[in-house]
A and B are shown apart, each in its own frame.
Chain A
Amino acid sequence: MFRNYLKVGLRYLLKHKGYTFINVLGLAVGITAAILIMLFVRSEHSFDRFHSKADRIHRAWLQEFYEGQIFTNVVTPVPLAPLLQENLAEVETVSRVAGIGAPIHHRGNIFNYPVTMVDSTFFDIFDFELIKGNRQNPFPSKNSIILSEEAATLFFGNISPIGETLELEIGGEKRLFTVSGLTKNVPYESSIQFGLLIPFSNAVHIWSDYVRTSAWSNVSVETYVLLKEGADPAKVNAKIPSFMQPLVAGNYKAGEYNVRLQPLTDIHLDNTLPAGMVAPSNPLYSYILATIGILILLIACINFITLSVGRSATRALEVGVRKVLGAERRQLIWQFWGEALLLTLSALLLGVLLAYLLLGQFNQLANREFVLNADVFTLLFCFSLLILIGLFAGSYPALVLSSFRPVQVLKGKVRTRGMGLFGKGLVVGQFVASIIMIICTITIGRQLHYLQQKDLGFEREHNVIVPTNQQGSAAALLANRFIAALEKNPQVIDATTSLYSMAEYGWMQLGYKDDKDVFRLFRFNVIDPDFVKAMDLEVVEGRNFMEGNPADSNAILVNEALVKEYGWDDPIGRKLPGAYPQQIIGVVKDFHFESLHTSIKPVVMALKPDAFFENSSDVSYDYSPRPRISVKFRGGNAQEHIALLRENWKEVAGDQEFEYRFLDDALNAAYEQEQRLGNIVQYASLLSIFIACMGLFGLATLVVQRRTKEIGIRKVLGANVSTLVGMLTKDFVVLVLLASVIAFPVAWLVLKRWLQDFSYRIDISWDVFLLAALVSVLVALLTVSYHAIRAALKNPVHSLRTE
């Protein structure tokens, strides 16, 4: 019986090649999209799950209420880990993880490779694979260092690194470290990334006794906690205040200083907490992608159904005959579902092949390195696709066709004229989805264009940022020598040193209590007198700093937003009321020192940082406070600029590693996620309209076939070709227009929500909607008119004779 079904199914599919081709290709493309998107969504949801104890590992985070403001930190005080270990019976073990700046001196070169300091319990908690070394005792001494394969290759090439040495500059002193272990490279799906690990005992070189033992408002390290088997995190969380509060009682009232535990596996998709070592993802984006994948699949399934509806006249007769020959409905249901599964299986094979071929492009699009493996999950996913699509797409023939009564079909009584409300509804549904995606594609594109073109209040072109990676006087010395060397070159317009450049989205944030006891926050930067000119900032009131004017070291520049915040009419000569002695000498026009997601905040710029740190009650920063040099070029070849910079750097900095970033690249990186979403939605809308059109094409074939006789009669009665084409295409155009009407409000709502993520955004304009509708109608017309024109041109003698 099964063989018979298979045989009939195969013959049927082979006989109607066009129908099969459209169905298989449509489904295959849908399946390809689903598989690729699955890879992405799976990766997003698999972060940190490779640790065998992942469900027991938590990261401590800090929430402080201070003067009406909430400060949230995933970086915690150094003594927190031992405190938790000591006071919580449920804690099995803890480890601190701290990224430290430690220039590496190796064979005459200086590398700025990230160094991570961890407790020796690190490998008890996490499953990072240690190829060489001892998990129980990973650091035999304080001067042991563990390398990832990547770091080992960088420093030692192909020889075994064990026993080799590296010189790390920690706390201003070079210290010799001996390699005691080698790990596999950290997987992409890990919220903890490292290349070099050193034991936490080196903290004595970095932080004072006070910071290491009792500085509760000083955050420096991430704290990870492994709970004992069966411990309830909620109960553990509830116990913390009892021993934490007494320690911070001097500065915080009860409930103002909270340490909480966050499950390790929640870190990646929880963007309500600030970024730790690896920035979390916006979970919205994986939901959007999953929705797109499901939509495309749905559109492909609908194709299958509409085409089945179109073919139902032919198949109905078969149903009648089979029933007369003794078939039961159950058997026919199996037969039709079997055929649908067979077709889906071919589509699946083709879809997997396509996914395999397109993986490279997709990786480029998503900026990932996904691989398509035949692992259990993927196989299960493909199998579920097969079953779900087969069942869903085959449901119409299986459930509806099989119910036909033989007496009626054999008499030819089943009505199959026209598309039927059901078929029309499906076509409309497909186009609704396609049109929404087209509208989104265009609007996202426009918003991105707007972000990239918007006047930021400073010059972004031909600007290169070179970090000094040094602190204090060493940085100043290096910067001065570098700038002096550069300024001899005619290509360089300007070069300036600042604590943060425009490439760091997130300047230092300072907070203080003003004279009226109001807590105020502002962004802070240390600049030199050239900064304003080099960045093309506009001084709207007062003046810029002057070179060699000693009084200016006690002056500040502020932006308009700050003036507005304090409500001043005459800001020049004023001081920030309360903590700081510096006088305002100038106001610069607002400029976007942060991404356009956020509105412009108050800014203070000074020549010297000292008094500011001392007088602020709150200091926080995302980027290390190490001066950067911004170099503005006259335009021309970027490669030459870099070569010039490198050459001069070598002269003044010697063996210290040369790093650089183009300012416009750095700025665009802030919109990377949006850019990628834009690209993916663009491909998705192309795909969906392609699949929908294939369905339309198939449907048009059937409609025209069914109306052959009518067309013949009309022609004999004198209808001309254009009227006939009009008659045949009109129905379809009406459907697409109806789909537009439904799609418009949905697209508008979706985009409105998306645009809310930006403080600076475009308006959703009506012409996008018109354009999308127009494109869809045109594409639909083109698709349908092929058949319409062919049918209309046919000699009626043939169509009428066949009856």
Chain B
Amino acid sequence: MGEIYKVPVGPIHIALEEPVYFKVNVHGETVENVDILSGFVHRGMEALVLRRNYLQNMIVTERTCSLCSNNHPFTYIMAVEKIAGVRIPERAEYLRVIADEVKRAASHLFNVSMLAHLVGFHSLMTQTMETREVLQDVKESIWGNRMDLGANTIGGVKYDLDKDQIKYLLGKLISLKKPVRELAAIYRDNRIVRARTEGVGVLTKEDALRLGVVGPTARGSGVDNDIRKAYPYAAYSKLDWDVVLEDGCDVRARALVRLKEVFQAIDLVEQCLSKLPEGPVALQGYPRIPAGEGVARTEAPRGELFFYVKSDGSSKPERMKWRVPTYLNWEALKVMMPGNKIADISVIFNSIDPCISCTER
């Protein structure tokens, strides 16, 4: 005893969903400290978008990441709309929220199912994925793709909902409530899931504030920093909802935040559908984008997403920069991991809902 061993985890590792390399110093079975190396899925997207026009970039940004693929073009488009100085129709604001919340629910269910996979409860994982499949069908039927919805466009949205589709969407979401409630109870109370998640990967509220973590990672530590509430965009200020907070500070608290946000997302979509105003869904024609700068931020499923767009008046952006939630959250891993067992590394890593392909772009 007393000796410290170095254990490499990743970049290609069976338990990690995405390529990132942890250099872990262990003392026996216990993690002493961890060093994170990244850069395995860098695609040069920030350079790529400079070679494409504003309309092409709506799709390029969407391909940054599949799980928060609605938020990337959404935020980008908001920034461009700020430069162009256009206001989108009211109906489009609601439709944007609907697309966003359906994606959020699907993303959160995916993350908790990965949690079940990592704690070795595979039947729970498949069942959660099966439940999520309802949302995939919804996305495929209303937007045409299972992941990349292509819902937003500069000056509005690309889709509209008629009576039948509203009925279909509502029916599917209501049918989702019972199975998700059933699954949430298992995540909350099951002995095995609790043993693997309770008290694991603790991030205290002080640390969460110090490190500036965002999204469900912060809300699991009791930090209220939901952009949808703090700086409302689209139709969020017109809806009635509260930020989900948990004070467990551990992996379980983060999973519970996500599960509660699934219900919240369903509720928000229901509210949007009942309040949906009549009118056009997009502006006529394509707005001129003058020289200027714009920033926008939204609450992606993983946390705050920030976009900076600089235009020189041509058809292509001069500079684009985006900061994704995982960039802030993975610093917290260095606080969460020490003191836990080697087997918990992947569980803790999953609890920040990492998106390496977003972060490295």
A binds B: no
Question: Hey, which bits of chain B sit against chain A, CB under 8 A?
Answer: none
Question: Hey, which bits of chain A sit against chain B, CB under 8 A?
Answer: none
